[in-house]
Amino acid sequence: MKVDILLGLQWGDEGKGKVVDVLTPRYDVVARFQGGPNAGHTLEFEGQKYVLRSIPSGIFQGDKVNIIGNGVVLDPALFKAEAEALEASGHNLKERLHISKKAHLILPTHRILDAAYEAAKGDAKVGTTGKGIGPTYTDKISRNGVRVGDILHDFDKKYAAAKARHEQILKGLNYEYDLSELEKAWFEGIEYLKQFKFVDSEHEINGLLSDGKSVLCEGAQGTMLDIDFGSYPFVTSSNTICAGACTGLGIAPNKIGEVYGIFKAYCTRVGAGPFPTELFDKTGDQICTLGHEFGSVTGRKRRCGWIDLVALKYAIMVDGVTKLIMMKSDVLDSFETIKACVAYKVNGEEIDYFPFDIEDVEPVYVELPGWQTDMTKMQSEDEFPEEFNAYLSFLEEQLGVPVKIVSVGPDREQTIERYTEE
Ligand code: GDP
Ligand code: IMO
Ligand code: MG
């Protein structure tokens, strides 16, 4: 069997959690391969809303096994809070949630370092989620990290060595901090974590594939936040692209099947960094209000703008997307016209590819008629308004990949699969 991968094509928050939940019944296993509690994946069903940070979004569908892979960074304190809340609402996790021994731990001092580095950057700050993501991946790459598997061997020594090193750096930065509360919650988290199954997830996943089982890999963040291909340095610290699933789970590239690329019918970004199609006017405010565009982790207002097809084409290229999923089209239900960026202007010259630097590019738009119809209760593509079908055809023609799923609201049920020919 092959693995399918679902990942964000924009700057995150495309609706990955919702669609992973919807697709889970078709798979045996769901696995997260990168990121950590910087993610906030929202699911809504039966009148309940859940926000997952480190736990894969396949956790609510039956008894499916969910895996936190080696590419993920895990904060035990935040994990405990997240898992306990799920258990309190009747979801038993202990047997079904497996955690890679090779996943790196976010230490309390990683969180402090995240804040200290941001403070030191001043106006140039990234606007991170403050969860210690960058410093944890930095330690991983510089071969100084502490991993989940270390909890079982010589843990106190490894923790103390990492903490001492971090404190030395913080001293150099002249950064004041108080570790006591964070550290207390963290060690409680470590004790809690020990109740879960620590696995060699590369063996587990490849074994499952050999046994004919199917796996859905869940991306976090989005391609435009990828450490290599995103709007560097305003990115996260992991490979969010399709290849990240290979390194973040131990899956060979020739095992990859479908790549689901997910995008909003418009575009958002949270945190600092260039955003060519950002709107600073009434329309931007309207998208923000109608789309409830506030961060699910930090509560920060998300910046809103029109869809950027130049960036989307680039994401589709680096991810090898085979199927597209369009989210939140209902947010545009009332718009008279809708714009889509089809090229950038750089120093007066028009380009249709994603350049090295998008800081000073100017978007070139085409304007399409809106559908001005409430789509939130629609059940099938047969009900789609003509203008909406025209918008989909335009996107497919521009992007060269079929849109197979359309989401018309936050609930699990508000999801329409298209059966049109590819
Ligand atoms: P993720 O990080 O990619 O999982 O996305 P988030 O959960 O951070 O943000 C997506 C937000 O949009 C959440 O609040 C979802 O409940 C909501 N959402 C998902 N799909 C739709 C949709 O089709 N329409 C509307 N209006 N909201 C949606
Ligand atoms: P999901 O999985 C949107 C952004 C932050 C910041 C940059 C770096 O819910 O789509 P970090 O804390 O990772 O060092 O922050 O990345 N960011 C996200 N934006 N959705 C996310 O996750 C994000 N995770 C990180 O706002 O700009
Ligand atoms: Mg999110």
Tens of pLDDT, residue by residue over 340-379, are 999 999 999 999 999 999 999 999 999 999 999 999 999 9
In-domain check, residue 422: no
CB of 70 sitting under 6 A from ligand 1: no
Burial classification of residue 403, based on how many CB atoms lie within 10 Å of its CB (0-12 exposed, 13-18 middle, 19 or more buried): buried
Alpha helices (runs of H) in 337-401, residue ranges in sequence order: 386-399
CATH no. for residue 190? 1.10.300.10
- How far the first Cα of the chain sits from its last, in Å, is 22
**Domain check: are 213 and 80 in the same one?**
yes
In-domain check, residue 20: yes
Considering only CA atoms, which residue is closest to atom 5 of ligand 2? 128
In-domain check, residue 172: yes
Question: Which of 260, 285, 312 corresponds to the end of one domain?
Answer: 260
**Domain check: are 108 and 86 in the same one?**
no
Domain count for the chain: 3
CATH no. for residue 352? 3.90.170.10
Please pick, among 41, 98, 264, 339, the residue that the annotation labels catalytic. Answer: 41
Instruction: Give 208-261 pLDDT, tens digit per residue.
Output: 999 999 999 999 999 999 999 999 999 999 999 999 999 999 999 999 999 999
Alpha helices (runs of H) in 142-200, residue ranges in sequence order: 155-172, 180-193
Share of the chain above pLDDT 90, in %: 95
Instruction: Give 132-147 pLDDT, tens digit per residue.
Output: 999 999 999 999 999 9
What is the SS3 assignment for 218? Answer: strand
Strand-strand pairing, 307-308 and 337-346 = parallel
C-beta of residue 338 within 8 angstroms of C-beta of residue 297: no
Q: Can you list the positions of beta strands (E) in 27-169?
A: 29-32, 41-45, 48-52, 65-68, 73-74, 97-100, 104-105
pLDDT computed for residue 368 by the predictor: 97
Find the 157 Cα to ligand 3 centroid distance in Å.
35
**Domain check: are 135 and 18 in the same one?**
no
Residue numbers of the domain that contains 362: 264-417
Residue 409: which of 383, 379, 384, 382 has the closest Cα?
Answer: 379
CB hemisphere CA count around 137 (13 angstroms): 18
**Domain check: are 282 and 349 in the same one?**
yes
408 in a known ligand binding site: yes
Question: Which of 260, 280, 308 corresponds to the end of one domain?
Answer: 260
Strand-strand pairing, 48-52 and 41-45 = antiparallel
**Domain check: are 285 and 342 in the same one?**
yes
User: In the structure encoding, which two tokens stand for residue 299, read together?
Assistant: 């509560």
Task: Inform me whether the pLDDT recorded for 1 exceeds 90.
Answer: no
**Domain check: are 386 and 292 in the same one?**
yes
Task: Inform me whether the pLDDT recorded for 422 exceeds 60.
Answer: no
In-domain check, residue 345: yes
13 a catalytic residue: yes
pLDDT computed for residue 420 by the predictor: 62
What is the SS3 assignment for 205? Answer: helix
Task: Give the Cα separation of 147 and 140 in Å (integer).
Answer: 9
Task: Give the Cα separation of 287 and 276 in Å (integer).
Answer: 16
Read off the pTM: 0.97
Element (H, E) at 245: helix 243-249
User: In the structure encoding, which two tokens stand for residue 122, read together?
Assistant: 């001043």
Considering only CA atoms, which residue is closest to atom 20 of ligand 2? 12
Question: Which of 152, 168, 194 corresponds to the end of one domain?
Answer: 194
**Domain check: are 223 and 354 in the same one?**
no
**Domain check: are 156 and 53 in the same one?**
no
CATH no. for residue 54? 3.40.440.10
In-domain check, residue 349: yes
**Domain check: are 76 and 207 in the same one?**
yes
C-beta of residue 170 within 8 angstroms of C-beta of residue 112: yes
Task: Give the Cα separation of 156 and 177 in Å (integer).
Answer: 22
**Domain check: are 354 and 412 in the same one?**
yes
